[in-house]
Structure formats: C-alpha cells, structure tokens
Amino acid sequence: ASRAASRALAEMDPVLQARADALRAPIRRGSAVPGTLTRRIHDAGSREELPGRLVREEGDPATGDVSADEAYSGLGATYDLLSEEYGRSSIDGAGKALLATVHYGTKYDNAFWDGEQMVFGDGDGEIFGRFTASLTVISHELTHGFTQYSTNLEYQGQSGALNESLSDVFGVLVEQRTLGQQADAASWLVGEGLFTAQVEGVALRSLKAPGTAYDDDVLGRDPQPATMADYVETSSDNGGVHINSGIPNHAFYLAATTLGGPAWKGAGNIWFDTVVDGGIPADCDFPTFARATQDAAARRFGVGSREAEAVTGAWAEVGVTP
C-alpha cells in the first residue's frame, strides 16, 4: 500500500437563536466515510498567476524545491490533525483536495488562502524569507479554508478577528502535534523563522504573550492586545482582524495551559466543536464565541467539568464576559 493509502482512514434574538441551535446541535464530525489525503503543489514561477505549473501530486517523491516540499508536508500535517484527532475528512469534511502554489510573485511578502487554495510568496529577503519555512503559517492559511467551509464568519471586526484567531489556534496545534509538544512546552508562536536575521523579532504573533513577537525599527512593534483592556479600535486591517485576534488567541492559550497535556486534545477539541457544531453566527462577536466555547465544553466534557471551568476562567482572564 502506498503512503497515501496508509493515510486514509478515515424571529428570535439572533444570539439567543444561535445559542439555542448550538445546544441542540448534534456532534457532527464531518463525513462518516473515511477520507483520503490528496495534495497538489504548483509553482507560479515568480508570476502572480494561479495555480501555476503542477510540480508535486499526492504520492510523488520530493521535488528538491524546498518551498514545494515544505508546502506538501505542511498540508499533510494539517490534514492529519483534522482527520486523526477530530475525524474530519479534509477542510470541508468531504475529502477536498488540498491545493497550494509556491513561488508566487517576486519578493512577495505574504501567504494567503484565496478562497480555493493556498498561496505562498518567497519573501523579499530583507524582512521576510520564504513563507513555507513556518509550519504554523502553512496550517494558518489552510485553516482559513476549514473556517470557510465550517462557518460564515465575516472577515471584519470581531468576527474577522475570530476568523484570524482560529487560523492561529489550529496553526499552532498542527505544529505542537507534529513536534509532540505538550501545552506548557510549546512556543505558542505563529510564523517563527520567517523573519530574516535583520529583523528584531522572533515571529509574527504569540498566543502566549500577544504584543511581544517583534519590536523592530522598520516593522514597528507587534500591535496585538492580550486582553479587552487593550482592545484596538481601528478601521485598518478590516477592523483589526490581525490585531484583536490576540485576545481570543490568548484565551485559547490560557485554557490549554490550565488543562495541561496536549493542547490539541482538550482545548483543541472544544474549539473544533465550536467551529463545526457551535452554530456561531456570521457576525459573531467575542462574547458570543466565548459562550459557544463554554457550551461546547459542557457538551463534550460535562457541565462543571474541569475543561468547562478552564474555558470559563480563560475568557474571564482576557476580559471577555460571555
């Protein structure tokens, strides 16, 4: 059997309405039919055209192109978390093929999910190196796909910050699981190893200590708040989606480290249930999301369980009142 085959397995208040739906929702894990991992990696050859030339398909040997091979394995690690831990067949629960394009554009300083596939730039070589160098960035981008297929979260304001936070949360969970790291031993950094040596900083963001990932002459200081006391009101960045995501990020970190052990098990399962079964509305704000995580924790682990208590305590500590 091929390695690919061996991976196979597997008019009410809208907020109250969402909560009622969430409590009624059955645990739905996605397709009951075991899925198969299918990856396709393309090379844009420094042009900004998608998808570019197909360079590696599922089961193909390594190409020798570091970016293409990192993308291939990063997609595999993300698929494995969803499949092996949460019983979900790919990002859509129906075995969707995972597509990525590397070497997008010239000196392109970003990576993104375009609604259909992942795209990775090579970086300008001054601030950023290649974006596939960080597993958390690959899994962050792919989680935007998972979120798209599981919720209607609008990419604006608090719902957008929750969308961003989910990508950071599952991004770090993929890395922690791949490295076999317990919650208290992990870095909780997103995008470690992306900056060149010229930048004063370790990563793009930190779930453990939002606001401390970098402090650089050119980039400025990491703008993320960790609690509602430092919430940033802004019209840029779609209303601060990459900024205020620090608050739900830190809540996840607090819940996971309070529980201890592998973060993808306890807190990860609660956040996964919230996304897939939580009935969260498109314009979900932080308190609504917090309540949905409490409900998910109570459904999975029981009312008053230590998991439910850890979730409640975490939101209290970041100043979000469900």
* Active site (annotated) includes residue 141: yes
Helix H or strand E segment including 15? helix 14-24
Q: What are phi and psi of 119, to 5 degrees?
A: -135, 135
N- to C-terminal Cα separation, the chain? 49
* Active site (annotated) includes residue 242: yes
Residue from 58, 141, 175, 307 carrying the catalytic annotation: 141
Q: 12 with 69: CB under 8 angstroms?
A: no
Instruction: Tell me: does residue 167 bind Zn ion (CB under 5 A).
Output: yes
Minimum gap (Å) between residue 24 Cβ and Zn ion: 31
Name the closest residue to ligand ASN (Cβ): 112
Minimum gap (Å) between residue 37 Cβ and ligand ASN: 22
Minimum gap (Å) between residue 204 Cβ and Zn ion: 10
Of 160 and 262, CB closest to ligand ASN: 160
Q: 146 with 275: CB under 8 angstroms?
A: yes
Instruction: Tell me: does residue 141 bind ligand ASN (CB under 6 A).
Output: yes
Minimum gap (Å) between residue 29 Cβ and Zn ion: 25
Q: What part of residues 111-140 is at the interface with ligand ASN (CB under 6 A)?
A: 111-112, 140
Residue 110 interacts with which of Zn ion, ligand ASN, none, CB < 5 to 8 Å by class? ligand ASN
Buried b / exposed e over 129-160, threshold 16 CB at 10 Å, is: bbbbbbbbbbbbbbbbbbbbbbbebbbebbbb
Q: 118 with 101: CB under 8 angstroms?
A: yes
- Of 269, 250, 264, nearest to 308 by C-alpha is 269
The three-point CA angle 240-168-95 to 5° equals: 120
Give the C-alpha separation, 129 to 274, whole Å: 34
Instruction: Tell me the number of residues near ligand ASN by CB under 6 A.
Output: 7
Residue 112 interacts with which of Zn ion, ligand ASN, none, CB < 5 to 8 Å by class? ligand ASN
Instruction: Tell me: does residue 136 bind Zn ion (CB under 5 A).
Output: no
Q: Which of 110, 148, 178, 305 binds ligand ASN (CB under 6 A)?
A: 110
Residues found near Zn ion in the complex (CB under 5 A) = 167
* Residues recognised as catalytic: 141, 242
Q: Interface with ligand ASN by CB under 6 A: which residues? A: 110-112, 140-141, 144, 164
